[in-house]
Amino acid sequence: MNALVDTRIDPADSLGIELAWLKSRLRGEDAYPWMADGRSPLDDLALRLGLSMFARHVLLLAAAPDLDDEAAALIAERSPDQPWPSLVLASALFGRNDFAALAPDAPLRALDLVRLSGDGVLSQKAIYADERVVFALRGIDTLDAWLSAWLTPLTSHAGTGSLDAKLTHTLARLLADDADPLAILTGGSMAERHAHVLAAAALTGAAALRMTVPDATQADPEPNEFIRRWRREAALSPRILMLEATEWPARWLRAIEQITTCVVAADASPDIPGTRQQTILHLPASDLNSRRARWRAHLPTLPEAAIMRLAAEYRHAPERLHLTVASERDAADACRALTRGNLAGLAEHIDANVDWNELVLPDEQANQLRELAAHAGSRVLVGESWGFARRNGRGNGVAALFSGPPGTGKTLAARVIAHAIGHDLYRVDLSRVVSKYVGETEKNLARVFDAADCGGAVLLFDEADALFGRRTEGKDSRDRHANLETAYLLQRMESFNGLAILTTNLDQLLDAAFLRRLAFVVRFPFPGETARRDIWRHAFPAQTPLADIDPDQLARMPLAGGHIANIAWSAACRAANAGCEVQTVHIVAAARAECMKLERPWQESWLHGGDR
């Protein structure tokens, strides 16, 4: 036996040493534990699944008849009445009777590493290794037959450009981490995400597989069975799974929490529930020329000007749109539909079908807004083609802030600008995004920006006071964290591939350092009587049946445009219920109700030229 112990062999032969040890035990010899310079496949499997030493011995015994003919013969000689591996035999060989190792929820059986066969008591049932385990121990790299129906090898694409080395190494470290955090890779094109996952897999020595999660209309594998089989697969061979989806069904979002060595690759980070640590990695967008080339390859008949506009505004991979023969409008609509799907549940889609004529503001603010729309429309040309994005160290984003009392037209202005530049408008309520937990606010904001970053969206962050109200001098950790949240929001607004607008009612909280980070700050004044007259003239749609009302009289009520819009709608409802046209009496009743809602005293003198 000492000769066996002293033999030094290559790592590839280390399983042979273990089988030699097992055969010595089967012959009744006092064999010493095996020694080898390298780890065997069984070592790796036991380590990945946390198998006890007894469970490890049972697995070796169960697989032995398929690995070594002499071992199979010795097992049969050991117990002619029961010529198969069993718990009784394992206890005799390894000195204990650990029934827990073969419990239904223990790794050996829960993952189908071994199977039990036959009738009678548990201790005498035949134990044999699943064929997938036998192949793995023999060094044959195969894939679970059930999984192979859903998984395909991840392959590289031509023309993906250079890799982001820092991101690739970070992803590799996450995948190799024993804590198994969930890596979420967003941004870039589908081909670029594939290339980075492949490179990270190569760094870890693992094979990369891909699964596209079926949507609600397609057949899909049962998630719990998938989780179980994939866990075994990842333990048997170094493998990484990349999950993609056009839509993320709720049951698969829940399942992702338990899928090991997994990368979720998406345009935007899906909302994955659970307590597992998540790390979001964002690929920088490809440059304008690369996007132009991709659009040209997929839509070769479009004019060059149309291709450039699509490349400038949209970062969706054209191959995802399934377009064959299409117009520029078809392609833009398809891109906006994808962005809309990305933002579902994160932001509210706001109708932006309004034009400049509906916006009543002093000339100074109106000119600022027209400038803002012009900047947003030319941001990619100036940023990428003219080199300002690289010089300034920022993206193509235009960040603006609208401040002013409630109802002064901030949201209406955002709608007008979105319509002017041909994008959809999405409202994000920051009071819901901001979290008391460290890091959660940034995570919530990242999901919003990642979802919208592929283009066609204007983001309106309402109630920015939720952040500004927490911006302090940084005297303690909570203060510093609040300031970091604000800084993170500004940084993402700048790097965002579009227009992002903040609204606030609290001008006094805006310091000079903060204002320098914004391309535009538009202060919306409370409308004077002349402005209110114009607002009343546009308050009712042209098709509304309207009596002879006096805008001069109505303008005496000191109410902002948003409140006037509410009053006009309420007055129209009152008239419709009464079966008549909208009259002054309906408007006055609606105005009283609006003042009551605002907890503002109503004054009859407003309608009769008194104090106002």
Q: What is the pLDDT of residue 80?
A: 78
State how far the Cα of 379 lies from the Cα of 313, in Å rounded to an integer.
Answer: 10
| Structure token digits, residue 245 | 């989806």
- Same fold for the pair 145-283 and 345-523: yes
Q: What is the pLDDT of residue 9?
A: 27
Q: What is the pLDDT of residue 516?
A: 76
pLDDT band at 10 (very low <50, low <70, confident <90, very high): very low
- What value, to the nearest 5°, has the Cα angle with vertex 386 and ends 193 and 418? 70
**Mean pLDDT in residue range 382-388:** 76
Residue ranges of domains in the chain: 2-137, 145-283, 285-344, 345-523, 529-607
Which residues, 6+ apart, have CB-to-CB distance to 92 below 8 Å? none
Instruction: Say if domain 145-283 classifies as CATH 2.40.100.10.
Output: no
State how far the Cα of 330 lies from the Cα of 257, in Å rounded to an integer.
Answer: 37
> Collapsing DSSP states into helix, strand and coil, what is residue 349?
strand
pLDDT, tens digit, 9 for 90 and up, residues 104-153:
999 999 999 999 988 778 888 889 999 999 999 888 888 999 999 899 99
% of the chain exceeding 90 in pLDDT: 33
Question: With 0-12 CB in 10 A as exposed, 13-18 as middle and 19+ as buried, what is 439?
Answer: exposed
DSSP labels, 121-179: -GGGSEEEE-HHHHHHHTT-----HHHHTT-EE----TT-----HHHHHHHHHHHH-TT
Q: How many CA atoms lie within 13 A of 211 on its CB side?
A: 25
% of the chain exceeding 70 in pLDDT: 86
State how far the Cα of 493 lies from the Cα of 488, in Å rounded to an integer.
Answer: 9
The torsion of the CA quartet 502, 507, 508, 513, rounded to 10 degrees, works out to 50
| Structure token digits, residue 553 | 């009289």
Q: What is the CATH number of domain 529-607?
A: 1.10.8.60
Residues, the chain: 612
pLDDT, tens digit, 9 for 90 and up, residues 35-91:
555 677 888 888 888 898 899 999 999 999 998 889 999 999 987 777 889 888 888
- 460 φ/ψ angles, rounded to the nearest 5 degrees: -110, 110
Residue 401 in contact with residue 521, Cβ under 8 Å?
yes
Residue 268 in contact with residue 248, Cβ under 8 Å?
no
Residue 450 in contact with residue 338, Cβ under 8 Å?
no
At 227, which helix (H) or strand (E)?
A: helix 223-236
Task: Considering the domain delimited by 345-523, tell me its CATH architecture.
Answer: 3-Layer(aba) Sandwich (3.40)
pLDDT, tens digit, 9 for 90 and up, residues 424-461:
999 987 777 777 665 677 777 877 887 787 778 999 98
The torsion of the CA quartet 463, 467, 470, 475, rounded to 10 degrees, works out to -170
Report CA 586 to chain centroid distance, whole Å.
Answer: 48
Question: With 0-12 CB in 10 A as exposed, 13-18 as middle and 19+ as buried, what is 607?
Answer: middle
Based on its alpha-carbon atoms, the radius of gyration of the chain, rounded to whole angstroms, reads: 34
Which residues, 6+ apart, have CB-to-CB distance to 98 below 8 Å? 52, 54, 55
pLDDT band at 6 (very low <50, low <70, confident <90, very high): very low
Question: With 0-12 CB in 10 A as exposed, 13-18 as middle and 19+ as buried, what is 503?
Answer: buried
pLDDT, tens digit, 9 for 90 and up, residues 214-249:
876 677 889 999 999 999 999 999 999 999 887 788
pLDDT band at 611 (very low <50, low <70, confident <90, very high): very low
* CA nearest neighbour of 558 among 590, 603, 506: 603
Any idea what DSSP says for residue 505? S
The count of other CB atoms within 10 Å of the CB of residue 287 is 14
Tokens 């050991």 found at: 78
Tokens 């001008």 found at: 507
Tokens 């007259």 found at: 533
